[in-house]
Amino acid sequence: MNLASLLKLLPVVGPVLARGQEFIDWYHEASASLHLTDQRAAQDALAAIQAENDEGHQRLQAKAAAAAKK
Contacting positions for another protein (CB under 8 A):
9, 11-13, 15-16, 18-19, 22-23, 26-27, 29-30, 33-34, 36-40, 42-43, 45-46, 49-50, 52-53, 56-57, 59-61, 63-65, 67-68, 70
CA 49 to chain CA mean position, Å: 12
| Element spanning 38, H or E | none
Kindly state the DSSP code that residue 28 receives in the 8-state scheme: H
Smallest gap, in angstroms, from Cβ of residue 4 to another protein?
15
Instruction: Give the Cα separation of 56 and 50 in Å (integer).
Output: 10
Residue with smaller CB distance to another protein, 2 or 11: 11
